[in-house]
């Protein structure tokens, strides 16, 4: 395995926002485009040598190919360890959890949130810092400034890593660990919420729920937590397999795009509770039986009752929109 230094030229359109750099897939597939942006991220970081990087995404088209490139570039740029979600899957909240739990230097999340996927769909790359949150403007500005003058990037000449099997690999001097995408996040949720009490409530027979993952990233998390840990009936999670094109759908949790969930919740013998999540799992929609809860009201209810949850008895430091 040798480190290759590849000559390149800047692209003028690589200015990231707080949600990273979002473009259509063909734009990212241009020669050097993804590599330029990743190298610009690495060049903008101080003290990353030998540190841990987290990598994962929402499973959309080009996710796997991009991850292979990022792993080889991370190795070429001196990261000591990379944690990557199995199958390339990590929801945005789960990536934040993994970054903080493993005291990683930061993480690269591949997602275009609720935007459509597929070969002609959208793709995105964002960098999260060591606190698990999105890179602040100071960092994104530095990344953009570097992207405007970049003239080379480093990448390891190596075979692809098997992303589908939990295992540890070596790329040059870098240890790449393919981790279970759900385990750390599920453990965090169980530390915050009383899973035993929720399980008793769900299995009492007096409460039914339906979770629609829209063929996006939250399917594995919802199945592991709701159906296996909390013993909700099989089939509670619908559209639970992440697909590169989101099954031809649009992973935006609203009354238009979450039509399968709406049909269930407004149909005969509807469950008591319904929810849908967006492409990368950081936004949701809540429904009751024949009832829609606006996102602002949903957040208000959560905030008002937060102190009833074991992990938040001391109150909240803040809430996000």
Q: Annotated active-site positions, please? A: 113
Cβ atoms of 143 and 39 closer than 8 Å: no
Cβ atoms of 225 and 189 closer than 8 Å: yes
Tell me how crowded residue 93 is: count the other CB atoms within 10 A of its CB: 19
Distance, in Å, from the CA atom of 250 to the CA atom of 258, rounded to the nearest integer, reads 8
DSSP string computed for 51-96: -EEEEEE---TTHHHHHHHHHHHHHHTT-SEEEEEEEEE--HHHHH
Q: What is the number of alpha carbons within 13 Å of residue 112 lying toward its C-beta? A: 24
- Residue 11: phi and psi, rounded to 5, are -105, 140
- The Cα-based distances of 88 to 85, 164, 183 in angstroms read 5, 8, 14
289: closest CA among 320, 256, 253, 262? 262
Token duo for residue 2: 């040798």
């Amino acid at each position: 395995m040798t480190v290759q230094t590849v000559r390149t030229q800047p692209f003028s359109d690589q200015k990231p926002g707080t949600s990273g750099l979002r473009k259509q897939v063909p734009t990212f597939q241009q020669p050097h485009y993804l590599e330029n942006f990743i190298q610009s991220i690495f060049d903008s970081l101080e003290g990353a040598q030998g540190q841990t990087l987290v990598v994962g995404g929402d499973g959309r088209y080009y996710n796997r190919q991009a991850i292979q490139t990022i792993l080889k570039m991370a190795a070429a740029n001196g990261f000591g360890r990379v944690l990557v979600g199995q199958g390339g899957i990590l929801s945005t909240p789960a990536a934040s959890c993994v970054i903080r739990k493993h005291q990683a230097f930061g993480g690269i999340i591949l997602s275009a949130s609720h935007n459509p996927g597929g070969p002609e769909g959208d793709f995105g790359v964002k960098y999260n810092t060591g606190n698990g949150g999105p890179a602040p403007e100071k960092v994104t500005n530095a990344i953009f400034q570097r992207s405007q003058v970049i003239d080379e990037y480093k990448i390891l000449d190596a075979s692809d890593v098997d992303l589908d099997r939990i295992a540890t690999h070596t790329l040059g001097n870098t240890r790449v660990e393919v981790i279970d995408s759900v385990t750390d996040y599920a453990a965090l949720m169980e530390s915050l919420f009383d899973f035993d009490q929720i399980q008793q409530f769900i299995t009492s027979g007096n409460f039914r729920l339906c979770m629609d993952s829209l063929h996006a990233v939250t399917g594995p998390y919802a199945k592991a937590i709701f159906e296996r840990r909390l013993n909700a009936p099989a089939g509670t999670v619908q559209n639970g397999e992440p697909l590169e094109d989101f099954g031809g759908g649009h992973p935006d949790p609203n009354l238009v795009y979450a039509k399968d969930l709406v049909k269930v919740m407004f149909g005969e013998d509807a469950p008591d509770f319904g929810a849908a999540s967006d492409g990368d799992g950081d936004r949701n929609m809540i429904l009751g039986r024949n009832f829609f809860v606006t996102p602002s009201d949903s957040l208000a209810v959560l905030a008002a009752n937060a102190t009833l949850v074991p992990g938040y008895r001391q109150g909240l430091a803040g809430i996000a929109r």
